[in-house]
Each structure stands twice: as structure tokens, then as C-alpha cells.
Chains A and B, each alone.
Chain A
Amino acid sequence: MKLWRTPLDIDRLKIPHGELHIIKDRCKGCGFCVEYCPREVLELSDEFNIKGYHPPYVKDEEGCADCRLCEAICPEFAIFVTTKEEVESVES
């Protein structure tokens, strides 16, 4: 994953997991979520949604760290994240 800086407590840090929900037909295919996901979890799909755009799909189910940047950046309110219970350590 991309880290902007290495946390001092990286050995103890647990990364939470998120589950991504994509409301495909709301998407206008801007690609903001794909571009700015810090863990590169998303990619634009080949499929067309109802309006003819390519919505993203989750290419790395386990990669989501529940940061919710995609949720905040999406201009269409078309993607959101719910927290998964399990957590993993950064180093794993």
C-alpha cells in the first residue's frame, strides 16, 4: 500500500477493513475513487451502467482499509464503505 509517511508505531498498528458498496447506476464514471484510493482497491469496469458509464468495481476485496476517501470524494454519492469486524496488522 501507499503510505505518505511511515507511522512510528507501524509494528503495533492494526489496519481496519472496510466493505465497499458501489451503487452502479448512480455512477458517472469520473474515476475520482479509482484515482485517489490510497490502496488501489478500485478499477473502472468494462460494463456499462444504465446511463452508459463505466462504474468501478472492487479488484482487491481485502485491500480496503476503511478510510472512506472514496465515499467522501465521490460527487455522485455512489460509493460508500461499511466497517468489517476483522482487522489485520500492517506488516502482515
Chain B
Amino acid sequence: MNKERLKPEHPMEALLRMDRMPHIWCPTCGIGTAVSCFITALEKIDYPLDKVVVVSGIGCTGRVAGYVKLDSFHTTHGRPIPFATGLKLGNPELKVVVFSGDGDIVAIGGNHFIHAARRNIDITVICVNNFNYAMTGGQVAPTTPLTALATTSPYGCFETPFSIPYLADSCGAVYVARWTALHIRRLTKSMVEALNKPGFSVVEVICPCSTLYARRNKLGTGLDLMKFYHESSVIKHGADTRELDIEFQKPMVVGKFVDRERPTFLESWNAQMKKALGEKFQPYGGSNEHD
């Protein structure tokens, strides 16, 4: 018998595409940590993982779909939410997660984001916010704090940024939370809650972009930035989402802000059609009967 003991495996390897490691993210980037939290969250939800799908758009975070060992789609820039909408409505048994960046979700995909929230499509959006477009070299984003430097705002950002939780809340999302990548346990817990919540749930993850945002703004390493975000953030569950603006290198509010009940798109469809059509209506959802 071979005397060499079997090497133990990293416990997350079962849910990662190890044949694609190392991933493309820079040293001290927080996206990997957000993925690590997501993997832990997946293990904590009581749902068959064969039925969990991850959809990403384009950008650094857009690569998440390529690293998780689930059915996964790397789509076009800004459009993972409508793709996910099609998937979810195509087979309501699926648990569909959109994992993408701030540029993808609230800039080019902003229109899709607000309408999916309004309709309460039953998907979870995990939006990694690193305050800039990193994959293309650090351009200004709709989340870049005022005065922060980016390659396309070389004299400082002067456009008011979006607050993702406020946007999500005002458009009707049923679950909204914000954590930094370093709030590992709390972030994981929010991901679990979001995944378990029927309807449109949003988890914003504040992540350091070490190579571009940190360097350009002379904020030290990614580690320094991670520390700053974590140490200067104030946990305030249930905070009024109008007060969640992020100012450049100032304390920010994190926590779980919204957790409410609203019928999902499919619940509303079934209810309205039943009401209007009675016995003639062919209910939709549940088992995938269109094989």
C-alpha cells in the first residue's frame, strides 16, 4: 500500500473549478474573499446545488461565473440580470444568482437592475463594488466617490455616485445588505439570507481594488484599503437607505437595511392570471413540465 497519506483537499474545491486556478484577480483584491464567503453560504443553504446557477456579466467580478463549479454563465456587459430573468422564468426551480461588479450592475445594466427589482424577479444579486472599472484600467464608475481619482476623472470625480442599497430599496428589492469583503461572517450570513429570500435580493460587497483604485488614490495596498473599509465602517442594521452615501475615505454604514415581503413576479403572474382566467389558466412554475 502506498504509504503516502492522501493530502487533504481545500474544502471549497468541490465548488470551485480548480482546473482554472489561479484566478485572474490581483493580489489583495477582495473578490476572491467574496467568492469564498459565497461558497460558504452555498453550503449553508438548504438547496440542491445542482439547481443553483451563477450568471455574471463582464468585468473583474464578471469572472466569478467561470470559477464556481455550478451551472454558470458569463454573459455580456450589463446584461446578467435579464439573462437570469430568462433562466428563472424558464425554470422556476432554479436558484439564480447574479454575481457581478458595480459597473456591470448599476451603470450599463442599471436599467435592468431597477426593473428586475420593480418586478421582484426571484434572483439574488451579489454586487461587488470596488468604486471603479478595474478590468479596463481604472476608469470612473457610477459608484466612484466624489473627488476620487480615476483614469477618466484625472482631476477627481465630480459626479454624484449611486448608493446601491438606496437604489435597490427604492426600486422594490425585498432584501438589501451591504458589507465589506472583510465582514466575512456577516457577509456570509447576508448571502445565506438573500439566497433564502424569495424575490429580488441585493448584497453589496465593498471590495478593495488594490492595483488601480488604491494605487491611483495613494491609499496604500489592498490590505491597507481592506483594513480601512473594515475599521471605518459602522454597522447599522435597518438604517434609512437614504443615508448610505459613501464619501471618499470616510466612514461608511454597513448592515442589513431591507428585509420585506412582496409577491415575486411569478407569484403575481399566477395570482393575476388565475383571477382573470379562472379554470382556463395553466399555472406556471414549480415543476419543469416543458421537457
Contacts and interface: CB of A to CB of B under 8 A. Distances in A.
B278 interface: no
B28 interface: yes
B159 interface: no
A80 B37 contact: no
Contacts of A69: 184
B196 to A, nearest CB: 20
Given A35-B223, A82-B8, A26 B28 contact: no
Contact of B22 (A26, A80, A82): A26
A2 B8 CA distance: 29
Contacts, number: 69
Interface string B170-182: 0000000000001
A61 B66 CA distance: 35
Nearest to B21: A26
B184 A80 contact: no
Interface string A12-51: 0000000001010010111110011000000000000001
A66 interface: no
Contact of B16 (A36, A77, A82): A77
B29 A73 contact: no
A80 B10 contact: yes
Nearest to B11: A80
Nearest to B188: A72
Contacts of B23: 76
B71 interface: no
A80 B13 CA distance: 11
A77 B32 contact: yes
B21 A77 contact: yes
A53 B28 CA distance: 12
Contacts of B25: 75
A29 B32 contact: no
A26 B10 CA distance: 12
A74 interface: yes
The 8 A-B pairs with the shortest beta carbon distances in the complex, nearest first, are: A75-B32, A28-B27, A30-B28, A72-B184, A80-B10, A75-B33, A30-B27, A31-B223
20 contacts: A21-B8, A26-B21, A28-B22, A28-B26, A29-B27, A30-B28, A32-B33, A32-B223, A53-B27, A72-B33, A74-B32, A75-B29, A75-B35, A75-B36, A76-B32, A77-B13, A77-B16, A77-B36, A78-B10, A80-B11
Interface of A: 21, 23, 26, 28-32, 35-36, 51, 53, 69, 71-78, 80, 82
